[in-house]
Amino acid sequence: MKTSRTSRTSRTSRARRLTLASLAAASLAAGLAVGPSPAHAADTLNWKIDANTLRVVDQQERNITHGDEVYVVSVSFRSTPGKVGSTSTSVVGDMGKMNDLYTGDTRAIGDSKGKVTFNNVTRRGFTDILGGNNPEIIGSMTFVFEDDFTTDNAIRNILDDVAAETKTQLAGVIEPLTLADLLDTEALGDKLTDAVTAITDEVTPGVFGKIKLFLGSIGDPDDLISQKVNVFVAVDDSLATVVDQKLGAVVTPATGVAGALRNRGYTQRFSGDDATYDVTYNVAPN
């Protein structure tokens, strides 16, 4: 029997409740021996989410047409819960193609195509959060295209529209916390979970659908193979393990990767329209 989207969403929302109260308890249990970090010890760095390599698992085009022509574009985002006007988005990627790709090939993705940077990100600890200094949510939506005959300007224009729409949607979810919310750790935790859920369950699929609808309206369009989300909460090492565990249960590999902002490397699979590519990522200070 087919389950309705409403009931699935309701069950998903109930299963995805992450509270800062639980984060605080875990942090205190793990770190009572050393205590919380001093409030003045700000952990502020520039960070990157860097798509480094693309491996062709299964090419789409025939060998007679010289294999696949692939390009990678991202929409980056950052927002702070409770801080009006903090949400920003941008399109990252120079639309440069990787040509003559065959099954088994691996190519480097240049920084101009795959690296998304975030300046002056402060990873927040337990003491910061109790004081109302909420952790930023940063991330990117990566889109992998197989090139046909859509012009670069047409793709760029639709992605600019997508970035603007993403900003509006994220701001509506993440920013509208009241002073009372900021003083209530459990409510704030719920809002963080809602934000991550909205990005992975509503914003990203909506953006994907909008691009596919546009491409379907023109002749011999570029193929949008797939999209994945990379979303990280800027908490420090004292809270990183718990955030990884909780958000790892929320965001599946089919959707993307989510967790605490920390050094990490991983691979995401992009599959669709008879093509499959694996993209490796590195998250680290820039």
pLDDT at 33: 35
pLDDT at 216: 61
Does residue 73 lie in a domain region?
Answer: yes
Q: Characterize 247-266 residue by residue with b for buried, 16 or more Cβ atoms within 10 angstroms of its Cβ, and e for exposed.
A: beebbeeebbbbbbbbebee
Counting residues of the chain whose pLDDT is more than 70, the rounded percentage is 68
Indicate the number of domains in the chain. Answer: 1
pLDDT at 37: 43
Residue 126 has pLDDT above 90, yes or no: no
Does residue 2 lie in a domain region?
Answer: no
pLDDT digits (tens, 9 = 90+) for 163-216: 888 888 888 877 876 545 544 545 555 555 566 666 666 666 666 676 766 666
Does residue 1 lie in a domain region?
Answer: no
Average pLDDT over residues 67-76: 90
Sign of CA dihedral 112, 72, 214, 258: negative
Average pLDDT over residues 93-121: 92
Residue 129 has pLDDT above 80, yes or no: no
Burial class (CB in 10 A: 0-12, 13-18, 19+), 227: buried
Average pLDDT over residues 136-162: 84
Average pLDDT over residues 20-37: 39
Does residue 191 lie in a domain region?
Answer: yes
If pLDDT is split at 50, 70 and 90, which confidence band does 220 have?
A: low
Domain residue limits at 177: 8-285
pLDDT at 15: 41
Average pLDDT over residues 225-238: 89
Q: What does the mean pLDDT of the chain come to?
A: 77
130 or 92, which is more confident: 92
Does residue 3 lie in a domain region?
Answer: no
